[in-house]
Amino acid sequence: MREDVVSSGLRVEGLSVEYAAKRGLGRTRGDTHKALADVGFILPTGQTLGVVGESGSGKTTLGHAVLRMTPVSRGRILWDGVDLATLSDRDLRPYRRQMQLVFQDPYEAMNPRMSIGRIIAEPLLLAYGLDRHARREQALRLLKQVGLDESLLGRRPRALSGGQRQRVTLARALATAPRLLVLDEPTSGLDVSLQARVLNLLRDLQTDKGLSYLFISHDLAAVAYIAQRLLVLFQGRVMEQGPTDALLRHPAHPYTAALLAAQPSAVPGRAPKDPAPAMNPVADPVPGACVYYQWCGKALPRCRMEAPDLTSLGADHLVACHYPGHETTSIH
Amino acid sequence: MTDDTTRAQPTMHPGGLFQRRRRWPATFGRVRADMGGGMLFLALVLFSWIGPLLYPHDPLAIHTHHILAAPRSRFPLGTDALGRNVLARLMRGGQATLAISLWASAIGLLAGLLYGMTAGLGPGWLDRALMRLLDTLLAIPSLVLMIFFASIVPLNETSLALLLGLVAWPGIARLTRNEALAARERDYVRAARQFGAGRLYIARVHILRAMLPLVIVNATFLMADMILGLSGLSFLGLGIQPPHASWGGLLNSGAGLAVIGSWWLIAFPGLAIFLAILAMNMLGQGLLARLEGELRE
């Protein structure tokens, strides 16, 4: 049913990214570290999927993997029905223009020795080979689009404020007229008033151009503001996904609940009473157990024996927990 | 403990006497170092190339009645064992020394950049192979390597520049490779790749740009090494061949005679070599300080 609805857009199935475990001096381990395991989601055109999770949960890896900026071990990345995961670098080129990344740290994402004009025009040169005059014209148009003054054109990144830098990287990402933007914590470096302005700008751009956003953030308030659907990651695995509203009001997974508790401002008064457990995401999960088992306040013996699959809670809401949400109370 | 740190704070105030005394000479010295080094080097270049125009004496002419003459008005820096004008020889020797060193640095810089970029931006196996080769080369002392090659090739200005370049490039190559490795993981390089940039574009526009200032600084230090290296070779008799002059060669021919009183035969060439190396090191240090200041911002 859903497959027909999203023939256009992004559909990710069973995406896994694995790194060979680091070999320290003397000790050799043949096994792999799973940065992402079996992640799947659907992002219809013109919509926003929020990816939340703590640091190290694999959010950024997911964003990079979707754009094939990091090697994909398994899984499919279907973009308008084409599997990007299997394309060669050469075949991937036309698709790269359609999907762009807005980096977490805008300053790092700009060559400090280039002027803003050159930075914004770089994709135009690389993707279309436009001449100098056309590039300048386009750069001005893009600057205007993100609400920046054209006087910035000759400046260096160092001379810009954090908000301006974020807008410049956004303008550059828009240069190739993409249809999907992967936004990696686009508001994390900004103060609250600037965050709101950038979020509004992103919303306006989305309605103007019909962009799809993969919005990566640890800030639930920002995500709730912009995303129709949420994906909760923990240690590279999907814990829960579903419509933003349902997820925030009735978090089915204890980890989602813990994230909400850690950030009571997202939905005031709705936060569960359990404090967010202290987590060490670097630790490898116990084999066979639920990855969240060690941290879960509601863990039962079954959680240790058997990793839960993603199961439907109805209405597009998936959760990887044996005792999701409200049901837990009836068991206790 | 806590009391100590709070009491210490007033002296750290930017307007404080302590801070001021500390900061002033550093900034002053940094600005003067590269300017001073550059001026000094320019003075040596002028001495070597413009000097002969103002003081037109043949460096090869032999004045049989003025053998080992001490510095006087006719021969301001004296004459050598064959009665040749030391000042004129110092000027001509400067031309040879500085030109060969400059060419050697350029060769080393270019070869090192190419080698380092290939290793740093190429596939992993190529990087490993090239770096092992470099390690092997660096394991041989450069003087031994130079002497070996100097003994099998005819010595002229071109071969000397190539010979010195041969020992100059490994350092630059390693620096370039490390910088390239660091730069290719920068977000702006990844962004460019996402826009469809090829390896060559990234190497040229982003990575070369990022490392060029550091490489230039190192090239000035390299120039100092080359001057010293060429002088060393010449002193060993493997440099510019007599009767032609070079600073190291002048030292070589004057060393024995200086012991018996002809101090001018080694004092002036030695001073010239010292000043040239000082100039390049000052220039390099000053530029490095500026670069670091720029990076810190």
Ordered by where they begin, the domains of chain B are 87-296 (1.10.3720.10)
Per-residue pLDDT band for A331 (boundaries 50, 70, 90) equals very low
* pLDDT averaged over every residue in chain B: 81
* pLDDT averaged over every residue in chain A: 80
For residue A111, pLDDT over 80 is answered with yes
pLDDT digits (tens, 9 = 90+) for A173-196: 888 888 999 998 888 777 888 888
User: What are the residues whose beta carbons fall under 8 Å from the beta carbon of B170, sequence distance 6 or more?
Assistant: B112, B134, B137, B138
pLDDT digits (tens, 9 = 90+) for A158-170: 888 888 888 899 8
Per-residue pLDDT band for B24 (boundaries 50, 70, 90) equals very low
Dihedral, CA atoms, A194, A197, A202, A205, nearest 10 degrees?
Answer: -140
Q: Which residue type occupies A257?
A: A
If one compares A124 and B258, the residue with the highest pLDDT of the two is: A124
pLDDT reported for residue B21: 36
pLDDT reported for residue B27: 44
Q: How far apart are CA A59 and CA A66, in angstroms?
A: 11
For residue B12, pLDDT over 80 is answered with no
Q: How far apart are CA A64 and CA B89, in angstroms?
A: 66
Cα of B181 vs its chain's centroid, Å: 25
Nearest by Cα to A223 from A55, A102, A51: A51
Sheet holding A237-243, edge to edge: A99-102, A180-184, A212-216, A48-52, A229-234, A237-243, A318-319, A311-312
Distance from CA of A176 to the nearest CA of B (A): 8
Among the partner-chain residues B187, B197, B201, the one whose CB lies closest to the CB of A105 is B187
> Would you call A330 exposed, middle or buried from its count of C-beta atoms within 10 A (0-12, 13-18, 19+)?
exposed
Dihedral, CA atoms, A187, A189, A195, A197, nearest 10 degrees?
Answer: -100
Which chain A residues contact residue B187 at CB under 8 A?
Answer: 103, 105, 108-109
Residue A117 domain-assigned (yes or no):
no
* Residue B219 CB-half CA count within 13 A: 19
Out of A147-161, A308-322, B101-115, the most confident range is B101-115
**Under a CB-based contact definition with an 8 Å cutoff, are residues B65 and B48 in contact?**
no
For residue B1, pLDDT over 50 is answered with no
Which chain A residues contact residue B185 at CB under 8 A?
Answer: none
Predicted-complex ipTM score:
0.77
Which chain A residues contact residue B199 at CB under 8 A?
Answer: none
Share of chain A above pLDDT 90, in %: 5
**How many residues can be counted in chain A?**
332
Which stretch of DSSP H or E encloses residue A143?
helix A132-145
Residue A127 domain-assigned (yes or no):
no
Distance from CA of A171 to the nearest CA of B (A): 13
Q: How far apart are CA A175 and CA B154, in angstroms?
A: 59
**Under a CB-based contact definition with an 8 Å cutoff, are residues B153 and B177 in contact?**
no
Q: Chain A 108-167, CB below 8 Å of chain B: which residues?
A: 108-111, 113-114, 122-123, 126-127, 158
Q: How far apart are CA B153 and CA B147, in angstroms?
A: 10
If one compares B263 and B43, the residue with the highest pLDDT of the two is: B43
Contact B195 A69 (CB under 8 A): no
**Mutate which of A111, A168, A180, A183 to test chain B, going by most B C-beta atoms within 10 A?**
A111
For residue A28, pLDDT over 80 is answered with no
**Under a CB-based contact definition with an 8 Å cutoff, are residues B38 and B225 in contact?**
no
Chain A residue with the nearest C-alpha to that of B210: A113
Sheet holding A74-79, edge to edge: A32-44, A9-20, A74-79, A82-83
Residue A329 domain-assigned (yes or no):
yes
**Under a CB-based contact definition with an 8 Å cutoff, are residues A10 and A60 in contact?**
no
Distance from CA of A122 to the nearest CA of B (A): 8
Contact A172 B186 (CB under 8 A): no
Distance from CA of A306 to the nearest CA of B (A): 39
Per-residue pLDDT band for A25 (boundaries 50, 70, 90) equals low
Nearest by Cα to B91 from B274, B279, B272, B278: B272
Contact A101 B209 (CB under 8 A): no
Share of chain B above pLDDT 90, in %: 21
Contact B188 A113 (CB under 8 A): no
Per-residue pLDDT band for A22 (boundaries 50, 70, 90) equals low
Distance from CA of A219 to the nearest CA of B (A): 22
pLDDT reported for residue A264: 52
User: What are the residues whose beta carbons fall under 8 Å from the beta carbon of A42, sequence distance 6 or more?
Assistant: A2, A6, A9, A10, A11, A12
Distance from CA of B19 to the nearest CA of A (A): 27
For residue B98, pLDDT over 50 is answered with yes
Among the partner-chain residues A108, A158, A176, the one whose CB lies closest to the CB of B195 is A176
pLDDT reported for residue B276: 92
Distance from CA of A331 to the nearest CA of B (A): 49
pLDDT reported for residue A30: 58
pTM of the model: 0.72
User: What is the separation, in whole angstroms, between the first and last Cα of chain B?
Assistant: 32
Which chain B residues contact residue A126 at CB under 8 A?
Answer: 192, 195-197, 201
pLDDT reported for residue A277: 52
Contact B192 A172 (CB under 8 A): no
Q: What is the DSSP letter of A154?
A: G
pLDDT digits (tens, 9 = 90+) for A206-263: 998 889 999 998 888 888 888 999 999 888 888 888 888 888 888 888 888 888 877 6
Residue A142 domain-assigned (yes or no):
no
**How many residues can be counted in chain B?**
297
Contact pairs from chain A to chain B, CB under 8 Å: 45
User: What are the residues whose beta carbons fall under 8 Å from the beta carbon of A282, sequence distance 6 or more?
Assistant: A56
Residue A275 lies in domain: 251-332
Q: Which residue type occupies B174?
A: R
Nearest by Cα to B161 from B114, B115, B110: B110
Chain A residue with the nearest C-alpha to that of B191: A109
Over range A139-164, report the average pLDDT.
87
> Would you call A157 exposed, middle or buried from its count of C-beta atoms within 10 A (0-12, 13-18, 19+)?
buried
pLDDT reported for residue A330: 35
pLDDT reported for residue B168: 86
If DSSP codes are grouped into helix, strand and coil, which group holds residue A58?
coil
Residue A130 domain-assigned (yes or no):
no
Which chain A residues contact residue B188 at CB under 8 A?
Answer: 108-111
Residue A283 domain-assigned (yes or no):
yes
Over range A89-115, report the average pLDDT.
86
Per-residue pLDDT band for B101 (boundaries 50, 70, 90) equals very high
DSSP string, chain B: -HHHHHHHHHHHSTTSHHHHHHHHHHHHHHHHHHHHHHHHHHHHHHHHHTHHHHS---TT---TT-TTPPS-SSSTT-B-TT--BHHHHHHHHHHHHHHHHHHHHHHHHHHHHHHHHHHHHS-HHHHHHHHHHHHHHHHS-HHHHHHHHHHHS--SHHHHHHHHHHHHHHHHHHHHHHHHHHHHTSHHHHHHHHTT--HHHIIIIIIHHHHHHHHHHHHHHHHHHHHHHHHHHHHTT-SSPTTS--HHHHHHHHHHHHHTT-THHHHHHHHHHHHHHHHHHHHHHHHHHHHHHHHH-
Among the partner-chain residues A101, A111, A176, the one whose CB lies closest to the CB of B209 is A111
Lowest-pLDDT range of A38-42, A304-308, B153-157, B186-190: A304-308
- Provide residues of B within 8 Å CB-CB of chain A: 186-188, 190-197, 201, 205-206, 209-210, 297
As for how many domains chain A has, the answer is 1
Dihedral sign from CA coordinates of A154, A158, A160, A164: positive
Cα of A152 vs its chain's centroid, Å: 29
**Residue carrying the six token digits 């071109």:** B158
Contact A109 B188 (CB under 8 A): yes
Q: How far apart are CA A124 and CA A70, in angstroms?
A: 23
If DSSP codes are grouped into helix, strand and coil, which group holds residue A40?
strand
| Number of other residues whose CB lies within 10 A of the CB of residue B124 | 8
Chain A residue with the nearest C-alpha to that of B208: A113
Per-residue pLDDT band for B215 (boundaries 50, 70, 90) equals confident
> Would you call B26 exposed, middle or buried from its count of C-beta atoms within 10 A (0-12, 13-18, 19+)?
exposed
pLDDT reported for residue B100: 93
Alpha helices (H) along A217-306: 220-226, 244-249, 254-262, 301-305
Distance from CA of B183 to the nearest CA of A (A): 10
Contact A96 B192 (CB under 8 A): no
Among the partner-chain residues A69, A93, A111, the one whose CB lies closest to the CB of B206 is A111
Per-residue pLDDT band for A49 (boundaries 50, 70, 90) equals very high
> Hey, is the C-beta of A20 within 8 angstroms of any chain B C-beta?
no
> Hey, is the C-beta of A87 within 8 angstroms of any chain B C-beta?
no
Residue A316 domain-assigned (yes or no):
yes
If one compares A21 and A107, the residue with the highest pLDDT of the two is: A107
Among the partner-chain residues B186, B195, B297, the one whose CB lies closest to the CB of A122 is B195
Contact A96 B194 (CB under 8 A): yes
Q: How far apart are CA B41 and CA B32, in angstroms?
A: 14
Residue A326 domain-assigned (yes or no):
yes
pLDDT reported for residue A81: 83
